[in-house]
Amino acid sequence: MQASFLRSVRKIHRYTGIFLFAFFFVVAITGLLLGWKKNSFGIILPASATGTSTNLHEWKSIEILNHIADSTLHANTGAETPANLDRIDIRKEKGIVKFVYIQDYWEVQLDGATGNVLQISQRRSDLIEDLHDGSFLDLYFNTKGEPIKLVYTLIMGTALLTFTITGFWLWYGPILIRKQKLKKGLVNE
């Protein structure tokens, strides 16, 4: 009976692996890249610049900084459509504000006090993260509420749990079978 159970576990493990191989490959590669993003010398994640003041009373308003960032994005990328801002990342301790855009994952870093452009670059880490968690499909199909990402993470999480459980039984099952055979005197040590 245990040998039969072990064969079933092996089939589940094998077919799940065959079916999800490409997805696991993408998750593994993107996970490695995301783990190294801050140590990529600005290739994956742009390094944060340093502004002139950490005193918020000396900073320009977010509205003015946003206008500067939008103008900078249009001037440097030639984008004709309005800037589609994803988020504003305020780094008070560095004296900067990062404006992160959805279009091609652009980021504009501004000095919070002067409004000077410190850096404009692409955040490849955001693209990699969207590939890693499946949300790039929600962006591509313009879905609301990220349903594709939710289904993708449900499948991948369940598959990882399945691999963990079946992998354990593929390791421990033969140990149990051997112990039972030893008890019955079918195998010599």
Write down the domain spans for the chain. Answer: 1-44+127-189, 46-122
The SS3 assignment for 88 reads strand
Of the pLDDT bands very low, low, confident and very high (cuts 50, 70, 90), residue 90 is very high
Highest mean pLDDT: which range of 20-24, 58-62, 75-79: 58-62
Mean pLDDT for the chain overall: 92
Pick the range with the lowest mean pLDDT from 69-78, 96-105, 180-189. Answer: 180-189
Pairing label, strands 85-91, 106-111: unpaired
- Cβ contacts of 33-41, under 8 Å, gap ≥ 24: 33/125, 33/128, 34/125, 34/128, 34/129, 34/132, 37/125, 37/128
Segment 72-76 shows an average pLDDT of 92
Query: What whole-number distance in Å separates Cα of residue 120 and Cα of residue 32?
Result: 25
pLDDT score recorded for residue 130: 96
- This prediction has a pTM of 0.81
Segment 107-126 shows an average pLDDT of 97
Q: What is the CATH number of domain 46-122?
A: 3.10.450
> Which residues, 6+ apart, have CB-to-CB distance to 69 below 8 Å?
83, 97, 99, 108, 110
pLDDT score recorded for residue 1: 63
Segment 90-104 shows an average pLDDT of 95
pLDDT score recorded for residue 189: 57
Q: At residue 187, does pLDDT exceed 90? A: no
